[in-house]
Structure 1
């Protein structure tokens, strides 16, 4: 039996959106990692209280995140926010979303997603479960649970539960060619992004996406750089666990990938999207990850390359196993193009705050710590984790195959500033816990 040992929560901190913070700057919250670790988020700004589960209007989450100026979004209500098949777009910088402040059962968004198009944003301890909204297959309406886009710099998505997306569960997207040179493309893309300790699961396969099958974990778009993907659970996603596209650069560390379909981690520069441009070289670092096959897993490799672009790689201490513990291939190709996959001579420096675990310890660490509010997990996360532990579960086409959208009675509790460290949004006393995972 594994018990759900818990790591706490929090949010925020300091840094400048475009420049790296100095080594003396405080971190966003204890345990913050990566190039974005020193973002201030909304630190020092006004506290905005979410007091309604309505998707819009006074006291709503949308009103809070669309306000201007540094701000910390806290919750005096718990339950489900139905976005009505819409996206909430975050265009204003210096924001902390502190889902840890919500009363039990926390906050779950359904039927929509979040887009971050601003710098210095910290998002913690929320659940986003878009689903198909009852629409027919190939309806042409699709959502990432959370994605960044151009303008997103110094962004952390930490301890969130992101499932049932009809595009990706969690992505760093951007503008492919913003500027005249590769240096400008890299500078103007989403960058300095951390995805840490999240559950990214059950991307819907044959749902509403116009292209058809689209069960995807994470897309790291062309030229997105300084991305850290650490401590996450990827479960029951057909592809993109994660995918780095042309020229993208980042590190994938201590993640647990369970029951991928036809791809684990992969790199793919799509030539058709680069017409008239010289190909950029990507970089993928993968250390201390575990990939376990499941019921939906096809023949695959831990890391594979497709498309046309060259990539530098560094792999260390990754485990890749079939359903009965036999080794799976570590590298593969799904292209005939003459791609140069070059092994880096030495390990790149670990991003800020990363303490590399040996792969043998990764499964238990991720199961104990990943997802929103690990002290107060909802039944969906509990099921996904139990299936991961016991080798069950499949890739699905609709949330209806997994019990349907959550239904919770609204709860209310006043936010008491004295109960929180307002610089980090860490609780100053223990939070109420549910019973451990059985």
Structure 2
């Protein structure tokens, strides 16, 4: 979904444009020429890839702590960049991540052992103006993607102004190494996170949180396709007990929910609605289809319907749901014109109305493997236009 001309919710961040161009030249977990070394630089930077393949993080997540950075996965040669056995933690502002795959998996850890990586997390007071676009995130043990911070300290202490767009968010692991047990979760917007937009994504085979907006949150959920959740699609609400000793009182999340589709799968509860539990929602042009393609309820629980959008991106005109399926099938994920076997399988599972919620990546073929590929880059003076062209070539 093209987001050109839109502003707000982190979309207008420059990322690393205007900064140094840093080249990733190998697939090592760390050291000179690695993605980790590029992220640890302090200066504004555009990270480009002269190598393609799989980066095994060996259970040590990547962390982005210095601001003004663009991770330009579209610059990598085929098959692109895939991270395994770890995720990415964003703790700073003005970050754009594009065209990469993040697949943490259980890393061979026993059930309930405490290995609990997110795929991509945006967290803390310093995390704002963040855009995650055309990524493929699957097999996380906690959330595939999360936007969070300290629960009870107020909005200025929590991540904000974040957009997640055009991505495949799928197959969060259920009974895996999370200490709580079953925990297949798609995308969490934690208490007090504000101006969070979830636009034009495919959610597939995540039991819950597709996405989940908690207390005091404000955001937009538009033009997402949700397939085969278990007990919850778009969740609104919070847990009262978490606020007993807080200085703030919990208030309903306030979310604009427009142009979304929910399709039941084999794991989906037989009467599941699109939006559930407790919250304030503006609802427009959403649809829910059961296994027989019959229309189902849009809401259940204590959902207060709003007459006006509580938040919206300036310039956003959502697609009609009738056109959404074809668009996302052809354009969602890290490299839609150069999909890896995992993304192809997930797309095909939706088309065939197959697939299940999984407990381990081993159930669907295990971690990807590929030989490294290399391509030297000549970076032109107009880096922004060059990155846009490379992105269009694989979108």
Greater displacement, 393-402 / 354-363: 354-363
RMSD after superposition: 1.9
Find the counterpart in structure 2 of residue 18 from structure 1. Answer: none
1:293 to 242, 248, 264: 264
- Is residue 152–residue 243 contact of structure 2 (8 Å, CA) maintained in 1? no
CA distance in 2, matches of 1:401, 1:32: 40
How many residue pairs are counted as aligned between the two chains? 391
- CA 1:329–1:211 in structure 2 vs 1: closer, same or farther (change >3 Å)? same
Where in structure 2 are the equivalents of 1:284-433 lying within 5 Å? 284-299=255-270, 300-305=272-277, 311-333=279-301, 341-348=303-310, 350-418=312-380, 421-428=382-389
Instruction: Verify: 1:93 aligned to 2:67, yes or no.
Output: yes
Find the counterpart in structure 1 of residue 56 from structure 2. Answer: 82
Greater displacement, 359-368 / 283-292: 359-368
- CA 1:315–1:30 in structure 2 vs 1: closer, same or farther (change >3 Å)? closer
CA distance in 2, matches of 1:103, 1:316: 41
Find the counterpart in structure 2 of residue 217 from structure 1. Answer: 186
Q: Could you report, residue by residue, the CA deviation over 1:289-317 in whole angstroms, capped at 9, with x for unpaired residues?
A: 000000111232111115xxxx3211111
CA distance in 1, matches of 2:390, 2:114: 46
CA distance in 2, matches of 1:366, 1:187: 34
- Is residue 256–residue 312 contact of structure 2 (8 Å, CA) maintained in 1? no
Where in structure 2 are the equivalents of 1:199-210 lying within 5 Å? 199-210=168-179
SS of corresponding position for 2:349: helix
- Is residue 222–residue 244 contact of structure 1 (8 Å, CA) maintained in 2? yes
* TM-score of the superposed pair, with normalisation by structure 1: 0.86
Where in structure 2 are the equivalents of 1:31-50 lying within 5 Å? 34-50=8-24
CA distance in 1, matches of 2:37, 2:197: 30
Instruction: Verify: 1:257 aligned to 2:226, yes or no.
Output: yes
CA distance in 2, matches of 1:213, 1:70: 40
- CA 1:329–1:122 in structure 2 vs 1: closer, same or farther (change >3 Å)? same
Q: Could you report, residue by residue, the CA deviation over 1:220-258 in whole angstroms, capped at 9, with x for unpaired residues?
A: 000001011000000000000011111111110000000
Q: Could you report, residue by residue, the CA deviation over 1:38-85 in whole angstroms, capped at 9, with x for unpaired residues?
A: 101001000011111111111110110111121000001110000001
Find the counterpart in structure 2 of residue 66 from structure 1. Answer: 40
Q: CA deviation at 1:330?
A: 1.5
- CA 1:380–1:397 in structure 2 vs 1: closer, same or farther (change >3 Å)? same
Unaligned runs of 5+ in 2: none
SS of corresponding position for 2:58: strand
Instruction: Verify: 1:281 aligned to 2:252, yes or no.
Output: yes
Q: CA deviation at 1:425?
A: 4.6
Find the counterpart in structure 2 of residue 173 from structure 1. Answer: 148
CA distance in 2, matches of 1:204, 1:281: 28
Q: CA deviation at 1:353?
A: 4.1
- CA 1:428–1:255 in structure 2 vs 1: closer, same or farther (change >3 Å)? closer
SS of corresponding position for 1:272: helix
SS of corresponding position for 2:59: strand
Q: CA deviation at 1:133?
A: 0.8
Find the counterpart in structure 2 of residue 15 from structure 1. Answer: none
CA distance in 2, matches of 1:430, 1:424: 10
Find the counterpart in structure 1 of residue 139 from structure 2. Answer: 164
Q: CA deviation at 1:266?
A: 0.7
Q: Could you report, residue by residue, the CA deviation over 1:66-117 in whole angstroms, capped at 9, with x for unpaired residues?
A: 1112100000111000000121111110000000000110000000000100
Q: CA deviation at 1:355?
A: 2.1
- Is residue 206–residue 357 contact of structure 2 (8 Å, CA) maintained in 1? yes
CA distance in 2, matches of 1:196, 1:128: 15
Q: CA deviation at 1:265?
A: 0.4
Where in structure 2 are the equivalents of 1:20-35 lying within 5 Å? 30=4, 34-35=8-9
Instruction: Verify: 1:236 aligned to 2:208, yes or no.
Output: no
SS of corresponding position for 1:426: helix
- Is residue 195–residue 311 contact of structure 2 (8 Å, CA) maintained in 1? no
CA distance in 2, matches of 1:34, 1:256: 23
CA distance in 2, matches of 1:329, 1:292: 12
- Is residue 34–residue 227 contact of structure 1 (8 Å, CA) maintained in 2? no
- CA 1:34–1:388 in structure 2 vs 1: closer, same or farther (change >3 Å)? farther
